[in-house]
Amino acid sequence: MSATIDINNVTKAYGSLTVLDEISLGIEAGEFIVFLGPSGCGKSTLLRMIAGLESVDKGTISIGGDRIDTLPPGKRGVAMVFQTYALYPHMTVAQNMAFGLENIKIDKAEIRKRVEAAAETLEMSHLLDRKPAKLSGGQRQRVAIGRAIVKEPKAFLFDEPLSNLDAALRSRTRLELAQLHQRLGSTMIFVTHDQVEAMTLAHRIVVMHDRKIEQIGTPMEIYQRPATRFVAEFVGSPAMSMLPIKALEAKAGKTGLDVAGAGMIETTIKLPADFKLDGAAIGLRSEDTFVVNPGEDGLGLTVSVVERLGERTLLYGKLDNGLDLIVEDSGRSTVRAGDRVLVGFDEKALHVFDGNDKAYHWQEEA
């Protein structure tokens, strides 16, 4: 029982401070969509507006075609899992889950059935009579999810649910959430600032920044073809290296870019005639770079820090003109801090950003 969610031109302001600016977004039924962004970008506010915990100043929100932004939270058919779980401390797990159903006068037998089913799905049937104080963090989170499941909502809302878990538990819970989504097939909206969570769980990611949506796309789209400079720098670890473009030269079928530190690069990426040069740069992910053998063509990089990650080695260094670059080498690299190596990169993997931070990518010859 999941539904589509339509957010139309939604704006929210606190007095003169605009927190969300004309946000529009369509979420498909059964989709797992992630709102990703740094703190303060408005992602939690947007989620809470869908839940009904914040008011909508302009625009509308609809679920399954029915407008909900004028309804109280309990009547919207959504369920929310809070970052701090917000379990009722004085009630047992079973009572926590039953509470919402009691309020809408569902009969006792049906309540018990749903509670037991949810408990079984989440493997916590043995915890039903315990109070939250006697549960671990991971167990509490499952109760919060259970409380949402029994409501059989049209959509699940998750507000940074993994932030309070330690690292090991986090990856395990991520997996369980993915399995839960497969099993239930419901629409799920997940808010986080952690790109790994976003990349691994989402069907589509909504990257938000500074009160606006930067890009909506599948994880691969976001990663490989970021629409703006912000998305490119936010997603991916380590962050994309940026090298400023000094000059542009249109040639037959190609464009020549004079890039600081890298010299002249020819690329088939189509750039428009009104490409803003001031502030433009190219972006390089470290996995698209490599160390060339001495004697071959390459850019000089003086390595200052070497990170050996096992399956790969990251070389942090400065090009000859002083610009920073991160280069990836094989896991068996013998490069040491202080070495000067020659590096190259895959020209097809370049990302070009104009002065307005808009991105241009290499187009597949269809």
Q: List contacts with other proteins (CB under 8 A).
A: 51-55, 72-75, 78-80, 82-84, 86-90, 99-100, 103-104, 147, 151
Q: Please say which residue, 55 or 179, places its beta carbon nearer to other proteins.
A: 55
Residue placing its CB nearer to other proteins in the complex, 12 or 209: 12
Cβ atoms of residues 329 and 312 within 8 Å = yes
The neighbour count for residue 297, using CB atoms within 10 Å, is 7
**CB nearer to other proteins: pick between 151 and 285:** 151
Nearer to other proteins, 63 or 335 (CB): 63
Residue 16 is classified by DSSP as: T
Q: How far is residue 364's CA from residue 163's CA, in Å, rounded to a whole number?
A: 38
3-state secondary structure of 98: helix
Of the pair 119, 335, the CB lying nearest other proteins is at: 119
User: Which residue type occupies 36?
Assistant: L
Least gap, CB of 102 to other proteins (angstroms):
9
Give min distance, CB of 51 to other proteins, in A: 6
Q: Please say which residue, 99 or 275, places its beta carbon nearer to other proteins.
A: 99
Helices (H), 36-135: 43-51, 93-103, 108-121
Supply the minimum distance, in Å, between the C-beta of residue 2 and other proteins: 17
Choose between 87 and 259: whose C-beta lies nearer to other proteins.
Answer: 87
Helix, strand or coil for residue 249? Answer: strand
**Residue 39 CB, nearest approach to other proteins (Å):** 18
Q: Which is nearer to other proteins, 13 or 277 (CB)?
A: 13
Integer Cα distance of 56 and 79 in angstroms: 18
Positive or negative, the CA dihedral 112, 100, 1, 126 is: negative
Q: Give me the least distance between CB of 362 and other proteins, in Å please.
A: 46
CB of 54 to other proteins, least distance (A): 7
Q: What is the smallest separation between the CB atom of 191 and other proteins, expressed in angstroms? A: 14
- Spatial distance between the Cα atoms of 73 and 88, rounded to a whole number of angstroms: 18
From residue 161, alpha-carbon distances to 86, 164, 189, 193, 205 in Å are 11, 7, 11, 11, 17
* Closer residue to other proteins (CB): 105 or 251: 105
Q: Cβ 300 to other proteins, closest distance in Å?
A: 52
Q: H/E element holding 180?
A: helix 167-184
Burial (CB < 10 A; 0-12, 13-18, 19+), residue 162, is buried
Q: How far is the CB of 103 from other proteins (least distance, A)?
A: 4
Rounded to whole angstroms, the Cα distance separating 304 from 260 reads: 20
Both structure tokens of 44: 């939690």
Angle at 44 between CA 39 and CA 47, to 5 degrees: 160
Q: CA nearest 230: which of 251, 204, 250, 211?
A: 211
Closest approach, Cβ 148 to other proteins, in A, equals: 9
CB closer to other proteins out of 110 and 320: 110
- Cα–Cα nearest to 345, from 283, 303, 295, 302: 283
